[in-house]
Structure 1
Amino acid sequence: MSVWIGIDLGTQSVRALAVTGEGRVVGAASRPLTSHRDGPRHEQDPEQWWRELAAATREALRGVPAGERVEGVAVDATSGTILLTDPSGRALTPALMYDDRRADADRANEAGAAVWERLGYRRMQPNWGLPKLLWLLPGAPAGARLAHQSDFVNRRLVGREVATDMSNALKTGVDLIGERWPAEVFDALGVPAEMLPDVVRPGARLGEVCAAAAEETGLPEGTPVIAGTTDGCAAQLGAGARQVGSWNSVLGTTLVLKGVTKELIHDPLGVVYSHRAPDGSWLPGGASSTGAGVLTRDLPGRDLDALSAQAATRYGPQPHHTTRRPSGRAANPGVPGASSPGAGVSGASLPSGPPVVTYPLVSRGERFPFAAPDAESFTLGEPADDVERYAAILLGAAFVERLCFDYLDLLGAPVDGEIILTGGATRSAYWTQLRADVLERPVTLRENAEPALGMAVLAGGDPARMIRTRAVVEPSGASLGEAYVRFVTELERRGWLDPEAAAHARERATP
């Protein structure tokens, strides 16, 4: 018998899973992480990453039955988090986290414009890795090395310098086509070549767990250490979105879409960018600023589970179209207002007349499926009560999700494959059915799709056996096309949505 260890090194915690080849979790543990925030500053102590990772891994391994062999370990980490180390791997700086915005991206964008254009994302943001590296560079001592969050702990696991994976290195400027650092860009920026680690694809073998790491983590000495990926890509792997045309839609506080394409997608707006998959295909995606985070803001103090049940009763009289599979716990529980899926899931039938719909921006400004720094939430129609207000938010989030797919289709991305829903919103049967109805597509729910599972798969597990389907939800046939077109037209009228994208969305909504 064999197990694989997946480690999700996040912002608030580190989580370790021990997973068998059949997808059974035999050990799991997490430990909290502490952030230091002050305005645009967001730092963490890299040594805490290692301490808590070692503790979580030791605890997770206690559940592994005697005689089962640990076949591999892989670690994912937050995208764009970097620090400087000395040649021995000791941290010289705090870690600048994924959303630290003290850097400026102008120099990086000027020097690398041609490369960023060729890679499809066109420009870097201030919180990306390369602007942060340039911000740290003036005070860097001789011999300093760049390390991403996962690089720091992988070095501790192996006991020597390791390569970085191209997924975590994307925001630091790696050339994903050439699979190398673009020397001409880094030379122009004054970044010494010796500061940069070697680059490999996710899934490459970095080395083996050394004796010192084995003692601290409980991982057997000699266990293969596999190059991981970013947390978003890890969640996609855990969801099983691996075939060209398949997509993982993660709806929690905000909405994130990630898919698989054979060819690199170029986006003139720069709101979609692509990672490189272990097999050389591409993983395009984008992150919206809309999502379930609006529920607690706009409905403070309300019982959101009760509102979900009332909305399902009021707006869902159609027979359910949910196909049950073997039971399993929902992925990423914890989104407010998310009642557990169960029998009697109803289709999204709406009352006569245009439904009330809210554009549910969690914060000012939109990132995907369009770029609009000044975008703000709005509501079309007047909600009669909190139940209708709740339903309007859920409908708006589903409309944004569909618009994301319409925009990806406009860019030439294949969107005809399996759509896998993960994130806390999948706990709501009503919301899941509503999303299937708006997309007019079946949607798949997994038993477990957390990033740590994705890392167990990347470490060497068989995805066909380890990733299990919980349910497939069919659209009910509810008619929501007119309401969607009205929503799209309003985004265009406000000057946020490009006319070409709006026209394409309307065309796809026309029977």
Structure 2
Amino acid sequence: MVHDGADQDAGWLGVDLGTQSVRVLLVTADGTVLGSGSAPLTGRRDGVRHEQDPLRWWAALCTASRAALASAPPDLPVGGLAVCGTSGTVLLTDASGRPVSPALMYDDGRAEAEAARARRAGLAVQDTWALPKALWLLGEYGGALRLAHQPDLIVSRLTGEPPPADSSHALKTGYDLDADRWPRAALDRLDVPEGLLPDVVRPGTRLGEVAPAAADATGIPAGTPVFAGMTDGCAAQIASGALRPGSWNSVLGTTLVLKGAARDPVRDPTGVVYNHRAPDGTWLPGGASSVGAGALTARFPDADPAAMDARAAAYEPSHAVAYPLVSPGERFPFRAPEASALILGDPAEDAELWAALLQGVGLAERLCLDYLHHLGAPLDGPLTFTGGGARSPYWNQLRADILGRPARVPEQPEPALGMAALAAYGASGAGALADVAERMVRVRTVVEPRPGRTAAFAEPYARLVDALRDRGWLPAPVAAHAHSRLSRDTSAS
């Protein structure tokens, strides 16, 4: 049963196209999860190369959506759905929306030369952003093709026609959020064809409805409204409820993303911090690091995380200090394409290496917040932890200790909930996204930093900051600013 329009009794579908899986949640307006489903994804990593087969996203969605809807009441109205994807993941399609290239994932690093060209043309892009990848794909495939962001492909399969892109995913393709248009003059200097880039709409805009063929494949009722989504980082931010100015959400998944809310954009001349635009016109500054839980999976593919967490507690702090990059190059809190994972010191055993990796993510997270403070970003609101890493109580406590501030952990710390909230907002046609999200988000616990523990990590943090500076990756003024805040919590002004 489909319900067209906002309804407190409707179910809202959120779809998260992650790196390792597709996740679907069916949620009511008050945050009750009626159903969930997931299906795994695999990709190809080879050095800086990271690809996925985009057709597998659709197959995974069909599995995950049917699982999410299986336990729903038969008469439940479905108000709508929205889709998020990994930021900067793109592919080429033909005019009908069929893929003609693999998907270059968010951290694929093959477009370094194209990124340099784009910067010379006046665009503040990073090497792994979508625009350089688009230029690289054009060089490989050419022809009269269209660029699609990760959710665009799924939406086209759901509605039966290629959709406009949402401005959140279009940001890393060079879309100018201030002017609300593509920067045509700069794109012309890069020889970007007129027909390559899609039209752009704000998140929450209605894109169409689920077509009968897609309904047969996914189990989602035909006619279900489909609304424009946002990137996975923004989706997790919505799921955290961190949409009031000064609030921040730290998304710890394969990599680490920090997203905040501000009345005005946070300006960063280096382009390390960038600003998304919320559907209601406010600003969502933040950045995406290449450290994260993927470093644990790479080093310990068969480990029991809970058991390793218990053993790691004996090493606080670890004698070894890590900067646990998941893939080569760093994007936030500094831009260094040549950066590589590092470990200072020799862990005594696997448990200490595990501890060093957990702590290393927390130290990198602290450096991200110190960099945001350096730029003048508001940090005085609540901090929320979401993402797969937030499922670890030990890691949550460790991160709160390192950061020296409390952190909220929602019951559903995942982007799919944020997309359900965005669909509900889009269907309402009025009000503030923050109001919709706060009604849907349920805080499970608040993690308080343990007395004295923050000071224990000051020395490892200083060692890491110095190592990053000495390698030429972290600018000296940023390192000095981090040193000046060693004895302060990361919310201090």
Please indicate, yes or no, whether the TM-score normalized by the shorter chain is above 0.5. Answer: yes
Corresponding residue for 1:323?
none
Partner deviation per Cα, 1:157-203 (whole Å, 9 max, x = no partner): 22334211111112221112111111112222222323322101111
Gap change, CA 1:366 and 1:49, over 3 Å in 2:
closer
In structure 2, relative to structure 1, the CA distance for the partners of 1:308 and 1:52 (3 Å cut) is closer
CA distance 1:397–1:221, shift in 2 (3 Å): closer
Give the equivalent residue in structure 2 for 1:181.
182
Q: Which residue of 2 aligns with 1:8?
A: 16
The answer on 1:488 being equivalent to 2:461 is no
1:440–1:477 contact (8 Å) kept in structure 2: no
Decide which moves more: 405-414 or 226-235: 226-235
What is residue 445 of structure 1 aligned with on the other side? 409
Matched with 2:418 is 454
Bigger mean CA deviation after superposition, 251-260 or 23-32: 251-260
In the other structure, the counterpart of 1:172 is: 173
Q: For residue 15 of structure 2, give the secondary structure of its aligned residue in structure 1.
A: strand
Q: Which amino acid aligns with 1:399?
A: L
Aligned to 1:501: 478
CA RMSD of aligned residues (A): 3.0
CA distance in 1, matches of 2:339, 2:402: 26
Aligned to 2:438: 464
Distance 1:148 1:248 in 2: 24
Alpha-carbon offset, residue 25 of structure 1: 1.7
Deviation at 1:5, TM superposition (A): 0.7
**Residue matched to 1:431:** 395
- Residue 389 of structure 1 and its aligned partner are, at CA, apart by 5.2
For residues 53 and 328 of structure 2, the distance between their equivalents in structure 1, rounded to whole angstroms, comes to: 30
Please give the secondary structure, in 2, of the residue aligned with 1:18. strand
> 1:403–1:218: structure 2 CA closer, same or farther, 3 Å change rule?
same
Q: 1:238, 1:453 within 8 Å by CA — same for their partners in 2?
A: yes
- Aligned residue pairs, count: 464
**1:368-405 CA distances to partner (integer Å, 9 max, x unpaired)?**
2223424552336x766665555444334322221211
Shift in CA distance, 141/371, structure 1 to aligned 2, threshold 3 Å: closer
Runs of 4+ in structure 1 off by over 6 angstroms are: 296-303
Cα pair 2:388 2:413 within 8 Å, conserved: no
Instruction: Label 1:395 to 1:92 Cα distance change in 2 as closer, same or farther (>3 A).
Output: closer
Gaps of 5+ in 2: 1-8, 426-435, 489-493
Q: Hey, what does 1:237 align to over in structure 2?
A: 238
What is the alpha-carbon distance in structure 2 between the residues aligned to residue 474 and residue 187 of structure 1?
52
Q: Deviations over 1:337-394 (max 9, x none)?
A: xxxxxxxxxxx7x7xxxx73512323555432223424552336x7666655554443
Structure 1 residue 27 displacement after superposition: 1.8
Q: Which residue of 2 aligns with 1:361?
A: 324
Q: 1:448 Cα shift?
A: 0.6
Larger deviation, residues 31-40 vs 212-221:
31-40
Q: Which amino acid aligns with 1:278?
A: P
1:141 aligns with 2:143: yes
SS in 1 for 2:485: helix
The answer to whether the 8 Å contact 2:121/2:189 transfers is no
Looking at structure 2, the residues matched to 205 and 103 of structure 1 have their Cα atoms a distance apart, in angstroms, of: 33
Cα separation, 1, equivalents of 2:304 and 2:102: 40
Paired residues of 1:265 and 1:411 also in contact (CA < 8 A)? yes
Counterpart in the other structure of 1:398: 362
TM-score, length of structure 1 as denominator length: 0.81
Amino acid at match of 1:62: A
TM-aligned CA distance change 1:309 to 1:32, over 3 Å: closer
Query: Structure 1 residues 263 and 22, CA, compared in 2 at 3 Å: closer, same or farther?
Result: same
Amino acid of the residue matched to residue 321 of structure 2?
A: T
- Whether contact under 8 Å (1:205, 1:224) holds in the other structure is yes
Say if 1:113 and 1:123, in contact at 8 Å, map to a contact too: no
1:220-277 per-residue CA deviation (whole Å, 9 max, x = no partner) reads: 2322110011222222222222122111112344432222222222324432222222
The answer as to whether partners of 1:357 and 1:393 remain within 8 angstroms in 2 is: no
**For residues 87 and 303 of structure 2, what CA distance do their matches in structure 1 show?**
34
- The verdict on how the C-alpha distance between 1:265 and 1:48 changes in structure 2, with shifts beyond 3 A counting, is same
- Of all paired residues, the percent bearing the same amino acid is 55
Higher mean C-alpha deviation, range 69-78 or range 491-500: 491-500
Distance 2:388 2:422 in 1: 23
**Residues 306-325 of structure 1: matches in 2 within 5 Å?**
306-312=307-313
Shift of 1:78: 2.2
Deviations 1:108-133 (A, max 9, x none): 544565653xxxxx3331x4322232
Contact 2:253 2:293 in 1 (8 A): yes
The alignment status of 1:476 with 2:439, answered yes or no, reads no
The question of whether the paired residues in 2 share the 8 Å contact of 1:294 and 1:360 is answered with no
Q: Does 1:91 align with 2:99?
A: yes
Task: Determine helix, strand or coil for the equivalent of 1:133.
Answer: helix
Counterpart-to-counterpart distance in 1, 2:299 and 2:251 = 21
- Please give the TM-score of this superposition, normalised by the length of structure 2: 0.84
Q: CA deviation at 1:4?
A: 0.4
**C-alpha distance in structure 2 between counterparts of 1:37 and 1:290, whole Å:** 16
Find the counterpart in structure 2 of residue 78 from structure 1. Answer: 86
Q: CA deviation at 1:444?
A: 0.8
* Rg (Cα) greater in structure: 1
In the aligned structure 1, how far is the partner of 2:279 from the partner of 2:339?
37
Q: 1:60-79 residue pairs with structure 2 within 5 A? A: 60-79=68-87
Cα deviation 1:67-125 (Å, max 9, x = unaligned): 2110011111222222333333233333333344444543x544565653xxxxx3331
Distance in 2, matches of 1:295 and 1:94, equals 27
234-243 or 80-89, which moves further after superposition? 80-89
Measured in 2, the distance between the counterparts of 1:46 and 1:91 equals 7
Query: Unaligned 5+ residue runs, structure 1?
Result: 117-121, 316-347
Going from structure 1 to structure 2, the CA distance change for 1:184 and 1:29 (only over 3 Å counts) comes to: same
Q: Residue in 1 aligned with 2:428? A: none
Q: C-alpha separation between the residues in 2 aligned to 1:393 and 1:56? A: 31
- Offset at residue 56 of structure 1 (A): 2.6
Residues 197-219 of structure 1, C-alpha deviation per residue, up to 9 Å, x if partnerless?
A: 21011111112223333333332
Deviation of residue 496 (structure 1)? 3.6
Select between 176-185 and 85-94 the one with higher mean Cα deviation: 85-94
